Chain A
Amino acid sequence: MAINWFKYSAPTTFYGLAGKLIPWFAFSAALLFVIGLYIGFAVAPVDAQQGEFYRIIFIHVPASILSMFLYLVMAGYAALGLIFNTRLSAMMATAIAPTGALFAFISLWTGALWGKPMWGAWWVWDARLTSELILLFLYLGFIALHASIDDPRRADRASALLAIVGSVNVPIIYFSVKWWNTLHQGSTIKYTGTSMHVAMQQAMFIVLLACWLYAIAVVLARVRSIILERERNTVWINELPEVRS
């Protein structure tokens, strides 16, 4: 069984598998975005307190969730790479970082646009907003550190440590609204259920799924380029049809 896992964690097998999967993920992501936004804008009612402005939630919450989860996935791959010295894990971590950073940016941007009309301020230095900003900086730090070291193996190890250390920030973001008093409201999605009207919930979860599929598609596409670049001296890369032609 163990051998099978390592087979799929080998760049050789993974490259082809990823290439086959990308179109499926990309297509279903696009479809779900359209459905989610249709429900969000045409089916879901206005909010009793916030009117139309609450509709930012359909992108704000999925982007925030993705920015946090992608960080954990990235740190997980980075740790795997450190422990097992597998080539693909480090490449996956490098491929996830830009997508995670963009979701963190979207989360902060849409949050600011929501905060202005509802709270009365674009930005407040409360624990939730500040820790999400730190998350964006951690992503940027990871990318910059990796790019600044020429030897790829050393770059992998150094940035992996940064990723693992930074993962402490993720639970801080999640629990910040519970541990401290913040301007940001508490979580809408709780273990006990969601404090939201059904159509609003559907729109948010469908866009969340779309974001997941989108993230997987771009990360796989990016990791394929990284594999090509890093393994360009191997026989199997030189035998690939897209390289031979």
Chain B
Amino acid sequence: MKPRQKRFVFIVVALVALAVVVGLVLNALESNVNLYFTPTQVFNNEAPHGRSFRIGGLVEEGSIKRANDGLTVNFVITDTHKSLPVVYKGILPDLFKEGKGVVAQGKMEADGVMHAEEVLAKHDENYMPPEAKDALDKAQKAQGMEKAK
């Protein structure tokens, strides 16, 4: 082999080896790379006990209840299999709505409720004008489709 072919083979082999190593490391670190746990994972005891962690999912339809002080909010995060109640005191992001994505950080207390210190809204990758959104919502209702995920 010419030296230039040798160098080429060396670079390709090194890159493949590196990619495999990085892949294995990221795979091993999976729970750390993930930003949040799903309610199902919490029920399977995969989430940490006694310390703060993030939980993500959808705000369950009809679950938002505001307390009289105007700041405390109770809602339920669901991944359509399992659901977890959350209580949060503070200002919520604009996109926080029933049926929409949400990520809450806090601790699970003995009462089985997550006491959140921070609530972030997660939006989807679809962009459309309000009229198109209305039409889409109507069509979906007519079909009786439920918006899973």
Contact = CB atoms under 8 A, between A and B. Distances in A.
Interface string B39-61: 00000000000000000100000
A170 to B, nearest CB: 11
B92, B124, B126: residue with the most chain A Cβ atoms closer than 10 Å: B126
A50, A54, A183, A186: residue with the most chain B Cβ atoms closer than 10 Å: A183
Contact of B127 (A79, A84, A183, A196): A196
B24 to A, nearest CB: 12
Interface residues of B, number: 39
A225 interface: no
Contacts of A124: 35, 120
A46 B120 contact: no
A196 B126 contact: yes
Interface stretch (B3-11, B68-76, B140-148): B3-11
Interface in B128-149: 128-130, 132-134
B87 interface: no
A120 B118 CA distance: 9
Contacts of B128: 47-48, 196-197
A119 B130 contact: no
Contact of A46 (B36, B125, B129, B134): B129
Interface string A149-181: 000000000000000110110001000000111
B26 A120 contact: no
Contact of A168 (B7, B19, B123, B129): B19
Contacts, number: 109
Given A48-B130, A83-B4, A181-B56, A119 B122 contact: yes
A118 B30 contact: no
Interface residues of A, number: 40
Nearest to A199: B129
Given A168-B15, A181-B36, A183-B103, A82 B7 contact: yes
A187 interface: yes
Given A82-B7, A197-B129, A197-B132, A183 B124 contact: no
Contact of A127 (B33, B38, B127): B33
A83 B56 CA distance: 47
A45 B129 contact: yes
A4 B75 CA distance: 68
Contact of A185 (B15, B18, B93, B123): B123
A65 to B, nearest CB: 14
A84 B94 CA distance: 55
B37 to A, nearest CB: 9
A85 B4 contact: yes
A220 B126 CA distance: 36
A180 B95 contact: no
Interface of A: 45-50, 54, 57, 79, 82-85, 117-121, 124-127, 164-165, 167-168, 172, 179-183, 185-188, 195-197, 200
The 6 closest A-B pairs by CB, nearest first: A48-B133, A120-B93, A45-B129, A126-B35, A185-B125, A48-B130
Given A172-B26, A196-B126, 8 more contacts: A47-B129, A48-B130, A48-B132, A120-B92, A121-B118, A168-B18, A183-B56, A196-B127
21 contacts: A46-B129, A46-B130, A48-B130, A49-B123, A50-B95, A54-B127, A84-B4, A117-B93, A120-B93, A120-B121, A121-B118, A125-B35, A127-B33, A164-B11, A164-B14, A183-B103, A183-B122, A186-B124, A196-B127, A197-B127, A200-B127
